[in-house]
Amino acid sequence: MACLNPNLTALDFYKTDIVRTDDQKGFKAAPRVVTIRGPFKLFKLTFNDAPEHPTFGTVSPWWSAAEPFQEDYEGALGRFKQAYMNGIDMSSMVRYMSAVKAEWNSLNYYVEISIKRGDEVKCFWGEFAPMPLSSNIPQNASNIAEFSSTSSASSQLGYLNAFLPDSAFHETHIGVLSAWQFFIPNLSNAFIEGGIARTQVDAHDMVALGRHFGLDLGKTSHLGKVSNRLRFFYRDTRKMAPFTPRHPILKKMDACFNQLWNLDISPQKSLEQFINYGESYIANHLNDPVSIKNMVQHYLDEAKKPI
């Protein structure tokens, strides 16, 4: 078992030979020292595959937890789901949450590594500091437009280019919501499973990223808008009969919505099942209260609306 940075302390954060002054500004407040143990998956979005530097022999120190870790309840899949629900691609979602200036990095690729099994890594852990989208938005307008554009594959499925506020009206900041990161001094291929091996996926291609996370988004428009339209199905149908046991078919519709909302299985299949159960309920339960059937019909109509 190897240990990276075994003697790292909180005070080392202020030593510029360990953390450069500009890197210190990447945290909202002083980070704390944590120990992660392999196998431990890390991810980042960047313009290449985050290779080891040929001269210095180190890999980029900036990484995020691929799976939920301490204050980060989402991990990479959670960030992907946020992008999905907002109808934008992973690259734009991460730029907003992780406060990466337009002139710093294109964020074109999702890169994932794993710390070797049995190895320990001591590193800094803290919140991203909010930053302006760019130090000079007019000068970097073309980069901002390019980096915010989704892939042709994603755009065909209904994903939109990400538009951020215009600084002519107010200061444009990104990273204003809570997001957490690692800064790992001295990280090298020696501590990475497979050495130079990297998982690399186009961060603008939501279908390819979905496959990486084990999700089948299908060849349809993204269904985030449908999820939003159906989010009060349980509440509204329950209000129609608050004191009677919930019908088994309505429970199945509840489950389909939860699967659609959480991307537990193919969202298209979840939506189809929701509609099939709803139509079965309307057709075969003629003696149920009209108020419930009317509400179910309302949500069926919402589910069938064009995206």
Cα separation of the two ends of the chain: 52
Average pLDDT of every residue of the chain: 82
Q: What is the pLDDT of residue 206?
A: 86
Q: What is the pLDDT of residue 167?
A: 41
0.85 surpassed by pTM: no
Q: What is the pLDDT of residue 38?
A: 96
Q: What is the pLDDT of residue 202?
A: 92
Query: Which residue, chain included where needed, has tokens 């509440």?
Result: 235
Q: Read off the pLDDT band of 34 (50, 70, 90).
A: very high
Q: What is the pLDDT of residue 172?
A: 46
Q: Read off the pLDDT band of 90 (50, 70, 90).
A: confident
What's the whole-number mean pLDDT along residues 75-89? Answer: 84
Lowest-pLDDT range of 50-54, 235-239, 246-250: 50-54
Q: What is the pLDDT of residue 197?
A: 86
Mark out the alpha helices in the chain (DSSP H runs). Answer: 21-24, 75-86, 90-98, 141-147, 152-156, 206-212, 224-230, 233-240, 248-262, 267-284, 290-304
Distance CA 28, CA 104 (A): 18
Q: What percent of the chain has pLDDT over 70?
A: 78
In this structure, how many other beta carbons lie within 10 angstroms of the beta carbon of residue 196? 10
Q: Coil, helix or strand for 38?
A: coil
Distance CA 81, CA 172 (A): 24
pLDDT over threshold 80, residue 155: no
Q: What is the pLDDT of residue 175?
A: 40
Distance CA 153, CA 72 (A): 30
Query: Which residue, chain included where needed, has tokens 């302006």?
Result: 132
Nearest to 259 by CA among 270, 248, 273, 268: 270
pLDDT tens digits, residue range 38-64?
999 999 988 888 889 999 999 999 999
* CB hemisphere CA count around 239 (13 angstroms): 6
* Residues facing 36 on adjacent strands: 121
Of the two residues 8 and 179, the one the predictor is more confident about is 8
What's the whole-number mean pLDDT along residues 178-206? Answer: 92
* CB hemisphere CA count around 146 (13 angstroms): 11
pLDDT tens digits, residue range 127-147?
987 655 544 555 555 554 554
pLDDT over threshold 80, residue 271: yes
Report whether 281 contacts 293 (CB < 8 A): yes
How many whole angstroms from its chain centre is CA 17? 32
What's the whole-number mean pLDDT along residues 155-173? Answer: 46
Structure tokens at 39: 């196998």
What's the whole-number mean pLDDT along residues 170-190? Answer: 74
Report whether 264 contacts 256 (CB < 8 A): no
pLDDT tens digits, residue range 2-13?
999 999 999 999
Q: Read off the pLDDT band of 103 (50, 70, 90).
A: very low
- Name the DSSP letter for residue 178: -
Lowest-pLDDT range of 10-14, 39-43, 152-156, 173-177: 173-177
Q: Are strands 120-127 and 3-4 parallel, antiparallel or unpaired?
A: parallel
Distance CA 78, CA 1 (A): 31
* Residues facing 231 on adjacent strands: none
pLDDT tens digits, residue range 214-236?
887 765 556 667 888 898 999 99
Q: What is the pLDDT of residue 299?
A: 96
